[in-house]
Amino acid sequence: MLNQRLQQKLLQKLSPQQILLMKLLQIPSVSLEQRIKQEIEENPALEDLADPTEAAYESETGQKEENQEENEEVSKDDEFDLEDYLDEDEIPAYKLYASNTGPDDDRPSLPFASADTFQDSLLHQLGMYKLSPNQEIIAATIIGNLDDAGYLQRDISAMVDDLAFSQNIQASEEEILEVLHFIQQLDPPGIGARNLQECLLLQLRRMEEKKPALGLAIEIIEHHFNEFTRKHYDKILKKSRASEEALKAAMGIILRLNPKPGSSINETERSNQYIEPDFIITPRDTQLELTLNSRNTPELRVNKKYMHMLEDYASGRGNNHQQKEAVQFIRQKIDSARWFIEAIKQRQNTLYITMNAIMEYQKEYFLSGDETRLRPMILKDIAEIVNMDISTVSRVANSKYVQTPYGTFLLKTFFSESLQTESGEEVSSREIKKILSDCIESESKDKPLTDEELTDVLKGKGYNIARRTVAKYREQLNIPVARLRKAI
């Protein structure tokens, strides 16, 4: 049954300016420059002060602005008054600028090295072999299916279908395996393997040294791989009938192998991925100095060309439909530019206030660099200090880095849960992790500490903690269980 009725609802909605600010808050400084460039491209009413084109236009029109007379009033039938809109008493000129750098700010340029991918390197090396046209296509298909670690994860039977549908080549699995054998002879050793066992065997079989330890190493990987991955050395000794000294020598050879050969070629590319800190903390005696990294934020303002266009329309004779649409378009772009400049300012201010609260909260750590001085801190603690919502603090902490004298850290790593000692004192979970890591680092590798033993050690230091919590922290530190930490 259809019916009509009136009802009132009370809703809370974010304004476009608030949505823009929230999006800008979670962008790190390294991505902010690209976001500003995108906005400048989409909105012609927004300009960068460093743009030489705009500087030339400003110098040409400077004299005209000084002698410009007052504009005529627009018809009262218009939907808004241009004179009131052009009146900038409510928004002074200095508020239309977003100056984020000073004349003494250092702007170092980072060098970037370019290098071929490991797939390109493998294709170049294939020139050593005399391959048929079909084999070259098969080789390119195999290399294209290698992952970043250099492994071939694609099934051979699936590649037969790929070649048939995409290249119109009818190739058997034997032909693909023959080409794969050529690829596995390329550098670095181990490339083109289909699993870790095959990768290690390819590297061992290409070693030139003919020592007994090498033969035992090949035997371990080929016939006792499961025992090797589980570090069951007693079973390996029993099955291989080797001495403990020979096993140590063989394990020394195996541990020098590269389980991800593709990453060795991509090492140059990875070295180009620099971290640009969003905040810089500098200790000054007993005080801390916080600097907001504004290196990637250009100086912005509203484009004066668009302001002049509004003035020209205001002084025009006609008041037709096309003029109204043009004025509406210009007004919308100018408003959008002002909102964006204001959002950038609010972003910088929010970042500074929030980071300053975190710095003061963890002042003892930032002065000493001792992780045991870190206080338990959650998002709610900082939100109450800065009088902001928890979601806002979360956006500030997301993907932001802070540079300190002790290293550059992800901001969210300073947030941790609290635990109580036997004396009732609250300590940070990060402090527990540091002590746990130190205990494992100093343990005997012949008999690593189990989670139960680590729990007893922490309790002996006054930290009342459960075994499952120790296991959780150990996993968060990417530390394997005691059995996998054992060494002969």
Q: In what order do the strands lie in the sheet with 287-292?
A: 287-292, 279-284, 401-404, 407-410
pLDDT at 355: 92
Residue 71 has pLDDT above 50, yes or no: no
Residue 48 has pLDDT above 80, yes or no: no
Q: What is the pLDDT of residues 308-326, one digit of tens each?
A: 777 776 666 556 677 777 7
Q: What is the pLDDT of residues 103-153, one digit of tens each?
A: 555 555 545 555 567 778 888 888 777 888 888 899 889 988 898 888 998
* Burial (CB count within 10 angstroms: exposed 0-12, middle 13-18, buried 19+), residue 184: buried
Residues facing residue 302 across a β-bridge: 46
Determine contact, residues 357/402, Cβ cutoff 8 Å: no
Determine contact, residues 29/296, Cβ cutoff 8 Å: yes
* Burial (CB count within 10 angstroms: exposed 0-12, middle 13-18, buried 19+), residue 60: exposed
322 or 223: which carries more pLDDT confidence? Answer: 223
Q: What is the pLDDT of residues 250-263, one digit of tens each?
A: 888 888 899 888 87
Which pLDDT band, with edges at 50, 70 and 90, does 74 fall under? very low
pLDDT at 124: 85
Residue 60 has pLDDT above 60, yes or no: no
Rounded Cα distance, 142 and 145, in Å: 5
465 or 95: which carries more pLDDT confidence? Answer: 465
Cβ contacts of 315 within 8 Å, gap of 6 or more:
71, 72
CATH of domain 418-485: 1.10.10.60
Among 107, 124, 106, smallest CA distance to 116 is for 124
Residue boundaries of the structural domains of the chain: 16-52+75-100+273-415, 118-186, 195-265, 418-485
Q: What is the pLDDT of residues 30-43, one digit of tens each?
A: 788 888 888 888 88
16 or 349: which carries more pLDDT confidence? Answer: 349
Determine contact, residues 450/485, Cβ cutoff 8 Å: no
pLDDT at 107: 52
Which pLDDT band, with edges at 50, 70 and 90, does 354 fall under? very high
Which pLDDT band, with edges at 50, 70 and 90, does 72 fall under? very low
pLDDT at 198: 92
pLDDT at 359: 92
Q: What is the pLDDT of residues 426-451, one digit of tens each?
A: 677 777 888 888 888 888 877 888 88
The CA radius of gyration of the chain, in Å to the nearest whole number, is 33
323-334 average pLDDT score? 80
Among 350, 412, 354, smallest CA distance to 18 is for 350
Residue 73 has pLDDT above 60, yes or no: no
**Tokens representing 298?**
């250009």
Residues facing residue 251 across a β-bridge: none
Helix 451-460 to helix 429-441 angle, to the nearest 10 degrees? 120
The rounded mean pLDDT for the chain is 79
Phi-psi region of 301 (alpha: psi -120 to 50; beta: other; left: phi over 0): beta
Q: What is the pLDDT of residues 372-404, one digit of tens each?
A: 788 888 888 999 999 988 888 888 888 889 999
Share of the chain above pLDDT 90, in %: 9
